[in-house]
Amino acid sequence: MQWSPAEELPTQEEKEVALGKLLFFDNILSADRSINCASCHIPAFAFSDTVAFSKGVGGRLGLRNAPSVMNILSRDSVFWDGRAASLEAQVVFPIEDHNEMDLPFAEALQRIQQEQTYQVAFHKVFGHAPDSASVVYAIAQFERSLETENTPNDRWLNDEENSGMTAQMIRGRDLFTSDRTRCFDCHFTADFTDDLYHNIGLFNGQQFNDSGRVLINGLAKDLGTFKTPGLRNVAVTAPYMHDGSFKTLREVIDYYDEPAKFMFNSINRDTILPEKIGLTDSEKDDLEAFLHSLTDDQFVLGKR
């Protein structure tokens, strides 16, 4: 449903979110007006994409997997390599990226300024014509509204009855937080990320050659590190990792169980990761069930 500026919304924040949403779904932000932010950040998949590499303007493929843009309110930097220090700073990248929307930001701004709907809407929401600060702020406000917390794990933590947390999910949670798997060493806090950068072994300088964070900060310790992704709604955001190299959560778990089985020659792998966990099949099931307990009800069929 699209907001029209003629419609009254009760709070300033709701107006900003509604305006940001209009922009997020608007093809005018791409060079040939063929795609919008939601083309790669698809609402039904927690605003992520279902393919390893998304198609931008002209069918060009990007170099990394499109992550969910939900639950990023608390992030202090975004992108797999953390190259944007705020959600506002982030917005310009996809618009200008040759493999994504391929439009100089100044031109995008001009297009917005020339549209009657936006002229009216920006005056109504911000009291002035669209400018770069209000455009990126509105989009960021929309993204900040995409928080989810209606999950079995949240309800269970709040001691709610009928949380939907099964015995299997609880066993998986115990494994996830154990010294044996060490998942919780990096995936902690309310969104299951430490907001730091780690190399989990998906870099070997050959067929896995995305150097990650080091390209941004030049620090050798960050060779092959990527931002720890939050895990809310992870069951609906396949494929996984910065390069989409795993199609299912089971593949991810099999990987962590023994990384060297998947890649024997990885470079700079974080020593927090156990060489081998030795999970049984039923323990893998438990861990997978726990990851499913982080899915918001809105993505569970029949609960929409």
* Cβ atoms of residues 242 and 228 within 8 Å: no
Task: Pick the piece of the chain touching ligand HEC (CB under 6 A) from 76-84, 110-118, 144-152, 161-169.
Answer: 76-84
Q: Does 263 bind ligand HEC (CB under 6 A)?
A: no
Q: For residue 141, which of 5, 29, 20 has the smallest C-alpha distance?
A: 20
* Cβ atoms of residues 184 and 190 within 8 Å: no
Options 17, 18, 22, 29; binder of ligand HEC; rule CB under 6 A = 29
Query: Binding to ligand HEC (CB under 6 A): which residues in 97-156?
Result: 100-101, 139, 143
CA dist 151 and 128 (Å) reads 40
5, amino acid identity: P
Q: Does 170 bind ligand HEC (CB under 6 A)?
A: no
Q: Does 269 bind ligand HEC (CB under 6 A)?
A: no
96, amino acid identity: E
Q: How far is the CB of 162 from ligand HEC (least distance, A)?
A: 26
Options 241, 263, 289, 294; binder of ligand HEC; rule CB under 6 A = 241
**Distances 113 to 109, 246, 260 between C-alpha atoms, Å:** 6, 42, 53
Tokens standing for residue 56: 């931008």
**Distances 281 to 104, 185, 260 between C-alpha atoms, Å:** 51, 23, 18
Options 17, 31, 94, 191; binder of ligand HEC; rule CB under 6 A = 94
CA dist 150 and 303 (Å) reads 11
Q: Does 252 bind ligand HEC (CB under 6 A)?
A: yes
Is the Cβ of residue 44 or residue 160 nearer to ligand HEC in the bound state?
A: 44
Q: Does 61 bind ligand HEC (CB under 6 A)?
A: no
CA dist 193 and 152 (Å) reads 19
7: Cβ contacts below 8 Å, ≥ 6 apart: none
Options 242, 268, 289, 293; binder of ligand HEC; rule CB under 6 A = 242
What are the phi and psi torsion angles at 167 (to 5°)?
-60, -35
Q: How far is the CB of 13 from ligand HEC (least distance, A)?
A: 18
Tokens standing for residue 216: 């941004």
Query: Binding to ligand HEC (CB under 6 A): which residues in 189-208?
Result: 198, 200, 202
Cα–Cα–Cα angle for 26, 27, 33, rounded to 5 degrees: 160
Residues in binding contact with ligand HEC, number by CB under 6 A: 54
Options 134, 148, 228, 293; binder of ligand HEC; rule CB under 6 A = 228
Options 17, 22, 31, 37; binder of ligand HEC; rule CB under 6 A = 37
Residues at the contact surface with ligand HEC, assessed by CB under 6 A: 24, 29, 35, 37, 39-41, 54, 56, 62, 64, 66-67, 69, 72, 78-81, 87, 90-91, 94-95, 100-101, 139, 143, 181-183, 185-187, 198, 200, 202, 226, 228-229, 231, 234, 237, 240-242, 249, 252-253, 256, 270, 272-273, 287
